[in-house]
Chain A
Amino acid sequence: MTKSADRTPKIDVRVTQIVDVTSEIKRFRFEPTDGKPLPVFAGGAHVVVEMEDGDTLRRNPYSLMSSPGATDAYNISVRRDPGGRGGSMFMHDRVTVGSLLRLSHPVNLFPIDRRARKHLLFAGGIGITPTLAMMSELARYGDAFELNYAVRSENDGAYLDQLRNTYGKRVSIYRDDQGEQIPLTTLLAAQPLGTHLYVCGPGGMMNWVLSTAEGLGWPAQNLHSERFLAPPSGSPYEVRLAASDLSIKVGPHQSMLEAIEAAGVDAPYLCRGGACGQCETRVISFDGTLLHNDHYLTDDEHAGGQKVMPCVSRFEGRELVLDR
């Protein structure tokens, strides 16, 4: 049970449906194992899916694409990515109907700006997934929006018919193999004041859309692009607790504080988020690099290497000795 030893609340789910959307994209439906309603989420939110792949615990963020009101199940779409770190291959090749997975609570780093007079959405390829949830929400609240969606071809494009049928003229689809291209400059120049732009897709497309808009005088506050939470994990390492005369291991997804607690050593804390200063711990010596992730210590203190905030910070190297 040490694999997921962090304390953030988790949701246990069972895979209840897998659908081939295109030759490269599968859709997964997750239902809670305890039968209780799932937390509500909003368009643009993602969950981190934890996969136990032998001894490795993989954690990949995926956008939620179901309708935000629905709390009986979540849906995500995963594109097969042989060049990636392995999470998508695991989802495609090893996860079956009935598999048990664990999810984080939804996190939204790509929220809809509710001040907007109009919402202009751009999606490319698998980047369509957060957009689906956003549109179902915007449609429900009666907000003005339009989607511009770039795909390689009719066959490779996910959810094309669903989009055309549900949203009609509010959706424009551009197929690469037909030589169709988003008329970006004309489109951007025609938007009413107070329009907000959202883009999710391959890096090149995101840059193109954002830099074109900036070049036309769109303020940064009106430009939104998808961001994921990077799970604060890293490589495992060892820590020597001098006062307690113990050596402990910190797992890849565990914080130093959690590992200290797991070893039965009482350590002070309050916020567990690197802000309050309670967990400050003196570093006796180290041979390696302290990875400071807190907002509490000053830059000088970070550079000085005499203090560390174990609730969020990590270590890479040979040896770290703490006064604890």
Chain B
Amino acid sequence: MNQLVLLACAVCGAGEDRASGALLVMTIIISLLPLGMMGGLIGYFVYQSRKGDQAAEDAK
């Protein structure tokens, strides 16, 4: 194994900004992504079902 590669470990470079910056950005993205997607789906659903409930009320 190439000795240089040993230094590629991200933990050993944890103090280095380029590694922790990437970690931070990815953390933000990966945390917001599921919430955004699920939130979008739920929002769409609630909107649709409000419409449905309203229509049912009107029919009464």
Q: Do these two chains really belong together in a complex?
A: no
